[in-house]
Amino acid sequence: MSTRHVVTDTELGAITLAAEGGAIAGLYFRHHVRRPPQEAFGPETSCRTDPLLNEAVRQLRDYLAGRRRQFDLPLAADGDPFQHAVWDIVKSVRRGDTTTYGRIAEQVGDRGLAQQVGQAVGANPLCIFVPCHRVVGSSGSLTGYAGGLKRKRALLELEEPAAVGAGRLF
C-alpha cells in the first residue's frame, strides 16, 4: 500500500483524508492553509476497497455527528521533532477543553517559543484527529485555524457548546 486518498463530504465541507501505508497521514479541507499539492495525496480510492480510509471516514462522520468522542486510528504525521512534541501535547488536550500557544510553549520548555508553537500547530497535517482547534489565543480568543475560524468555532461548539464564547480556558 502506498499513498492514497478519499474525499468525503461532511458538515464542514469536503474533507480529503490521505493515507500512507497503514496509517492516516493527512486530513485537509478544500481551502486548507498549507494544503499539499493534489498529487501528494496519491491516487483517489474508494472507501469500499480501502479498510483504513473507510474506518477513518466512519470515525470522522461519527465524531461530527456527536456519536464519537475520540479517535482510534493509526496516525503518521510528517514533521520534525519539535512539531511532533507540540502535536503530542495537542493530542492530550481533552474534548471540551482548550489550551493556549503559550501554555504549550511552557510544556515544551520555554514560554518564549509561543510563536514557533503556533507555526507547529498550523503545520499539523491531521487537524481534527490531532485537535489543533482546541488551541486558542492567550485571552481565549479564536485565532488561526487551517480550515478557517468558522470551522474552528463549529468544532469547539460540537465539543462543548457552553464553553465557546464564554471565555472558558482549561
- Quick: pLDDT tens for 7-38: 999 999 999 999 999 999 999 998 887 888 78
Domain ranges of the chain: 4-64, 81-159
User: Which candidate, 79, 70, 91, 101, places its Cα nearest to that of 26?
Assistant: 79
Beta bridge partners, 126, equal 27
Cβ pair 121, 132 in contact under 8 A: yes
Domain spanning 81-159: which CATH class is it, in words?
Answer: mainly alpha
pLDDT tens-digit map of 32-70: 878 887 888 989 999 899 999 999 999 999 999 999 998
47 is catalytic: no
Q: How far is CA 99 from the centre of its chain?
A: 14
Distance CA 127, CA 146 (A): 8
**Which of 12, 56, 86, 132 is flagged as catalytic?**
132
